[in-house]
Amino acid sequence: MWFLALLGAVSAWATSGGRRSLSALWRDLPSFDGLPLAAGLGLIALALLTNYALHPWFARRRVRALMGPPGGGGHDPGPVPVRYRLDGAGLIQTAPDLVSFVPWPRIGGLAEDRHHLFLTTEIGEVPIVLPKASLSAETIAGIRRWVEACADRPAPAPPPAEPETGPDSVRATMRLTAEERVPLILRSLENPWARRARLTGAAAWLLGLSLLYPALLLMLWAVDPYRVPLSDALPLFAEMIASDFWKPAAFTAVVIAGFFAVHAYARRWFAGDLARRLEAEAPPGEAEIAIGETGIVTAKDGAHAHLGWPLFRGRARAGDLMILPMRWDEVLPVPLRIFAPEARARAEALIERHLPEVRAR
């Protein structure tokens, strides 16, 4: 942008008095009025700095759109109180309809910035984020001491007992296959924000590539403007744009249409490839799951969580996989193949009794 502004200033100087030379430019430079050029460069710099300053806001806005409303569709969008406790056994998280425990061997460490603490665990890929503004200096220091002393080490205290789901609960062990991960990946890719982003990107590419030909003509003229005065160049520009403008626009439209035509197949291929890589990188072992009247309990390698039914936002089916959306757009996948026929019928009955069916997005 600065280059184009400087090029425009040189072009204005070159066309003001006939053909000029480089030596004449250096000779006239002391008398050059640099205020308009400085104003233009300043506006460009201001626009770039504004974009840089607003980038975190745009990023947060995109994340909020991807996550959906805080309370889920049709639910209370108010803040959700969450309580964390660090002790000799590990980390206990308590929230409405949710109680989870992570032992110290599965807690990776602590990272932080000016405003937040990030507690990384082996449970999922998203760290636990604690705002420093809600914590006292003593609490922050205590978290640092606990993590430094115990993270990724054997716990010095015994873990709490796993929660119960009732005597009639259905129990099984599970490990997702690559094929079962595909619907989950597709679900995360197919959301309203992603669809809007694709349409916006297609419109931007169509406009940008369509204007590429006029922009090239303008740049070629600006390199040597004294050969063709502006008064003579404008009619030529108008004629060339009117006769040739539709060609890059039509080509761009064909390319975008082809992209949308193959996008569904490409998305499916990408989801399958990512699912295979996630399956290869997944830690060994199976997780335990118990479905009962009070909710669902999951456990693996000493970590466990009790998920009450009000925590979920419905149910969706993808073949033999039951997808249970939760608050903050997280999901609990339950492959029905893990249950024996009688247990499967009971598990489906429990889920259907407590959770309404939601439309897959």
Domain limits, the chain = 1-15+22-54, 83-160, 164-176+282-361, 178-266
pLDDT tens, per residue, the chain with 361 residues:
666 666 666 666 565 665 556 566 666 666 665 666 676 677 778 888 888 888 888 787 666 655 555 544 555 556 788 899 999 999 999 999 999 999 999 998 899 988 999 998 887 667 888 999 989 999 999 999 999 999 888 888 888 888 877 778 899 999 999 999 999 988 877 777 777 777 887 888 888 877 777 777 777 676 666 667 777 778 878 877 777 777 777 888 888 888 888 888 888 999 999 999 988 888 888 999 999 999 999 999 889 999 999 999 899 998 899 999 887 778 899 999 999 999 999 999 999 999 998 765 5
Same fold, 83-160 and 164-176+282-361: yes
- CA separation for the pair 195, 10 (Å, rounded): 44
Q: In this structure, which CATH number among 1.20.1630, 2.30.29, 3.30.110, 1.20.120 belongs to the domain 83-160?
A: 2.30.29
C-alpha dist (Å) from residue 215 to 11, 100, 218, 260: 16, 58, 5, 27
Taking residue 197's Cβ as centre, other Cβ atoms within 10 Å add up to 14
Q: From its phi and psi, is residue 291 left (phi > 0), alpha (psi between -120 and 50) or beta?
A: beta
What is the C-alpha to C-alpha distance for residues 66 and 70, in angstroms, rounded to an integer? 11
| CB distance 141 to 135 below 8 Å | no
- How many Å apart are CA 317 and CA 327, to the nearest integer? 18
CATH top-level class of 164-176+282-361 = mainly beta
* Residue 121: both structure tokens together: 């665990």
